[in-house]
Amino acid sequence: MHAVAEPTKETWRFIDSGCCDAYENMAVDLAITQAYQGTPTLRVYGWKPPAISLGYHQSLSDLDMERCARDGIDVVYRPTGGRAVLHSAEITYSVVLGRDSHLYDPRVMPVYERISQGILAALQLLYIPIAFERSGKSPRNYTQGELGSLCYASSIKYEIGHEGKKLIGSAQRRFGDVVLQHGSILIGEDHLKLVDYLAQRDPDWQRSARKFMQEKTICLNELSPVPLHYDQLALALRTGFSQHWGLHLVDGSLTEEEKNQSQALKEKMHQQISEAAGHEA
């Protein structure tokens, strides 16, 4: 009697990039997307120095660029949409996949859900009491006016949070049949400092904005029974995705094509910020 063969696991590449500057981080995500050849990638990384990323439709005029420069805060445009995010005490994930993956769907929200399930499985390995935030069918503003420039001013179905507070901010964009989704998983409270770098300088408004973000967000070290660090989260994300979706994750690095493409994109992103800053001046 012949043994029944085990189903073949879908193979993904796992890249732990460690801490990189803002332009490197965004250029690599986009390069992996543009060079996609059929193997999905789960990548994790941190930010050094701290940086503010803007959605690709957002205006640089939302920020106090002089203060960002003075405090050594990089500013970069993401290849995805959304609002301003200050990246510091966090781990960022990115997923790039195509229609050859069983996590793919031509609709946005099913892919959000599937990626969220992988992250949820990862955080459960660390005993984090979180769940899906399923309220709303589309991005929804909690407030109007200038608070809308904050990433955490909105919630989206299939985001992950705790008791109505957002833990992870994610954004997704399609490049033909290739999906890029990346997001910030908050470890500490540095994201609250974003209000210090917005162009709105009224002290009362800043206090209101900071309070608003405190009410709408929560970080892992407020939920975890022990302090968490980047390396623990990187391993948990690798394991959680693998176990939940039955994936075969292979440790990897960028291809030569991706390296060359990311270098060109990095230079282009630097130029984009310089030109935008000159236009706003």
Active site members: 151
The Cα 145–Cα 238 span in angstroms is 39
* Residues in CB range of 230: below 8 A, 6 or more apart: 19, 46, 91, 187
Axis crossing angle, helix 256-280 with helix 22-34, rounded to the nearest 10: 130
Instruction: Note the Cα 65 to chain centre separation in Å.
Output: 22
Nearest residue to 150 via CA among 204, 208, 92: 208
Q: Could you give phi then psi for residue 60, rounded to 5 degrees?
A: -65, -20
Q: Is the dihedral of CA 108, 86, 61, 149 positive or negative?
A: positive
Residue with tokens 């420069």: 69
The Cα 188–Cα 28 span in angstroms is 25
Q: What Rg value do the Cα atoms of the chain yield, rounded?
A: 19
Nearest residue to 96 via CA among 159, 23, 33: 33
The residues with which 175 forms a beta bridge, in sequence order, are 178
The Cα 18–Cα 91 span in angstroms is 9
Under DSSP, the state recorded for 89 is S
The Cα 171–Cα 79 span in angstroms is 9
The region that residue 38 occupies, defined by phi over 0 for left and psi between -120 and 50 for alpha, beta otherwise, is left
